[in-house]
Amino acid sequence: MTHPDATRWNARYTAEREEWLERKPRQLLVDFASQLPKRGLALDAAAGVSANGLFLAQRGLHVIALDISETALKLAVNRARALTLPIDAAVYDLTSPWLPEARFDVIINFRFLARETIPIYQQSLKPGGWLFFETFVKTFQDLPHLDYYLDPGELLRAYQDFEILFWREDLKPDSGRAVAQLVARKPAGSMKG
C-alpha cells in the first residue's frame, strides 16, 4: 500500500516536473555557503528534486536526499548523475524518523515540518555541524492541517542549546505565509542534542 502523501506528491512532481526542476537553492543556504565545510556528509530532508542538495554537492559535500516522493528523488538522482555529483537518495517517511547519531556535517530542512525530526536532527548532527531549518508558522488557528505549522518561537526554543547564527520569523512576500528561518551550529563539545 502506498502512503497517501507519496501518491499526492508523486502526482504533483509528475505534473509539474519542469517547474520543480527550474527551482534554485534557497537563498538562506546560498547566503551561508561560503562558511560551510567543503567536505563531509549532508542530509537534504524532504528533498524533493534536491535543488538544495545539488547546490551542496557542487560545493563538495556528499548528499543524502530523503523524500516521500520516489518521482522527485528519481529526478534529483538523474540530475546529479548528469552533473556527476555525489547524491544518494532514499524514499523515506520523515514522520517516523531514525538517523544515525553524530553523522552529518550539514542538515537542511526547507518547507517541511514533522516535529519528530527535531530531536533526531539534534542528535544526528556532528559536533560543530550546521542546521538550516525553514518552515511555516501558525498565524491563525483556522489554518488547514495545523500540524504542518510551527507555533511562533517554537523553532528557536527547540534549538536554544545550539549556536544560533541566524534567526527570523516573519511574513514572506513570495508565499504570503509566516515563515521561521533558522541557521544554527551544534556546540562543538556536544555529542547529543
Name the amino acid, one letter, at 62.
Answer: H
- For residue range 75-120, list pLDDT tens digits in order: 899 899 999 999 999 999 888 899 999 999 999 999 888 899 999 9
H/E run at residue 120: helix 117-124
Q: pLDDT digit string (tens) for 31-58? A: 999 999 999 999 999 998 889 999 999 9
Contact 125, 100 (CB under 8 A): no
- Write out the E strands in 70-192: 87-91, 104-110, 125-136, 163-171, 178-185
Q: What is the dihedral of CA 136, 89, 105, 80, to 10 degrees?
A: -100
Domain 4-185 has CATH 3.40.50.150: yes
DSSP 35: G
Q: What is d(CA 58, CA 80) in angstroms, rounded to the nearest whole number?
A: 9
Q: How far, in whole angstroms, is CA 99 from its chain's centroid?
A: 14
Which of 52, 49, 48, 54 has the alpha carbon at shortest distance from 27?
Answer: 52
Annotated domain spans of the chain: 4-185
